[in-house]
Structure formats: C-alpha cells, structure tokens
Structure 1
Amino acid sequence: MSRFLAGMVCGAVLLFGAMHYHVVRGKEGVFLVPKISKNLSNVYVDIRDFRLSDWQQHKPLAAAMVKNNRSDLLEDASLSSFRNQVSGLVDGLFE
C-alpha cells in the first residue's frame, strides 16, 4: 500500500511540473521556464538548433521565455540562424 501511495505522489509531482514548466535545453544548459497556459504541450524542447521558422511553431514557448526574462536564449538561436543565412547569401554572391 505504501508503494502505491509513493507512486501516486511521485506521479502527481511529475504531472504538476510538466503542466507548469517548460524544460528548455539551450547551448548554456537546461532551464525551467514557467508556462503561460497550463497544459502538457512543449514539456521538453531542445532549442540549440532552432531557426526562426521553428520559433513560429513554438509561439507559447517563446512568449513564456520573454515573459520570464529568458529572452537571451531566444536571441542566441535566432541570431545564429540569421547570421548563417546572411553568410550563405554573401557566399553565394561572391562565388
């Protein structure tokens, strides 16, 4: 009976965490970002190679990161993508 109760408590704690936080893997490590809407979407997201099109698919995550002062993680991903696109364009012009 005690194992059952321990399992129920553990499951409830994990469900609470999944519904209230995004687990975000960035280049600097793993971060917990509080969610704006309480649901089970985007529980774990790896943003190390995100591009602007990826951020359009994960708008609630981007909004939660901006609201919780973690926009520095957004800038790194989008700026590196933008730099790569500009670099490819410049290389294409001077070939």
Structure 2
Amino acid sequence: MGSLQIDLLGSSFAIKANEESAYLEKLLGYYKRITEEVKKTGGLTKPVEIAIMSGITLVDELYKEKSKNAKLLNGTKETDDEEAERLTLRMIDRIDKALE
C-alpha cells in the first residue's frame, strides 16, 4: 500500500492506495503536466475548471487508446461515433485557434 501527498491547484491532502508510492508519484506527475498544459493553452484560471478540463483531457486520451486497441483486436473500421468525435475535436481545435 502506498501513500501520496497531493499539493495541486490550491488544494493539499494525502491519500493511501493499493499501489506503490512510486507509481502514485508518476500518476501525480503526469496529472500535473496535464494541468500545466491546460493552464497554458486553455486560458483557464479557476482551479475547478482546470481540474475538470484536465480530467476530460485524460479521459479523451484513454478513450482514444481503448478505441485504437479495439480496432486492432477487431480489425474494424472507424465507427460513426468515433468519426463524430474526431470531427468534433477538429472543430474545437479550429475554434480555439481562431479565438487566440
């Protein structure tokens, strides 16, 4: 069982988990990099907004990886949902660039 002290986005607390402390540190480090990227590119300043967008960013990464793995296992083509997601993300990216 590992423990981790989290000091992030104006909050500080400790957790214990059924993982090694070194692994928890890696997860926190990765999440901190995501939050920094969100701060830089998203123009967000409120901690809760940064946390939510960071979570969405991570879920997006996970979803894409799972979809990619499913395609490899099933040998299927892009589904309508995946195409809609891809197009939506491309539109969001274009809107973000236009607003800069």
Which band: TM-score by shorter chain? 0.3 to 0.5
Structure exhibiting the larger radius of gyration computed from Cα positions: 1
Per the normalisation by structure 2, the TM-score is: 0.34
Structure that is richer in helix per residue? 2
